[in-house]
Structure 1
């Protein structure tokens, strides 16, 4: 499974994702923001960071770069796309997943380990978990509060992927911190599975996100 990792000026989790994909048995490679042709890849991951310094708002400038057209073509080919943190913000910005990720309730950057509930297992990325399984991964964002005016539609179509468990640190609607599109092939999550890919990091619960990509069969 050849997986492209998108790099923007300001991305800072690309190497972590590369490492996690290698552990999971994938073949990761980096893709710069100005590359349009992604046809050689079987899947795409947009990592976290601060693309273009989060100017205007998180993901706004990245959303108009050439690589976005390549990602949209990947989507048409029904290949999986995962956005993590800033990557999730970008996917929401371009309308590939529903809703928005906006400023945290307390208007502060929050970096901490959190308990999460896997609300859906129909995505490639969560297919190796059990429904309602509780996992631990870090969150690290200032603009991660999820909001959607059509929340019932998400429930009806099983598009809620991750929810905060026990607490709702950023004030997200219904504690939602990960969603997918209607097909389940495009997934946006604010917590960082790559930072929970080895026990030495405090948790290996996130590794299944990447094993799910590697084991995906279209």
Structure 2
């Protein structure tokens, strides 16, 4: 998977866009995708206080070799009303990703989940007591190698627990197969699969057990 971020600059605001779609027409007109959008006030004559969102975004853009002319404007964006966390990625084939390995992917997701648990203990209480009561959902323009191991690691990270902690809570229920089934993967319809740029073969590139699917 890879980051799909857009920063659209206007006179007095920046539109932040995080999308599961690639910049191909078919991803927007045929396939189903998810888009998060927030308009952020921009004032080039003022420097705003740093936020975790801004720090994470700045680091990700620099690691992705985005021109400094763009990155330098983040300090002029009023991020105080951004109420989400950003979990992004950089190419693992690049040495730059190794410098900030704990700032991306599942490691970053786990850090955020643990912090949210501490801040909202009453909300997470039931999920933490028995993680098997929790279901997670993921959706994307295209699917990579969603193996049982990856899905179970994704579940642990999103719950903010390590595999050993999960085993302590669940005992013999903590198998990779059982945990992987707590993650529901949204995939494209038959029509979408048949008409996308990869053809019908895109629907069979991932092998799931029958009980992984639900209508």
Q: Calculate the TM-score normalised by the size of structure 2.
A: 0.28
Question: RCO (CA 8 Å, sep 6+): is it higher in 1 or 2?
Answer: 1
| Higher Cα radius of gyration | 2
Q: Calculate the TM-score normalised by the size of structure 1.
A: 0.28
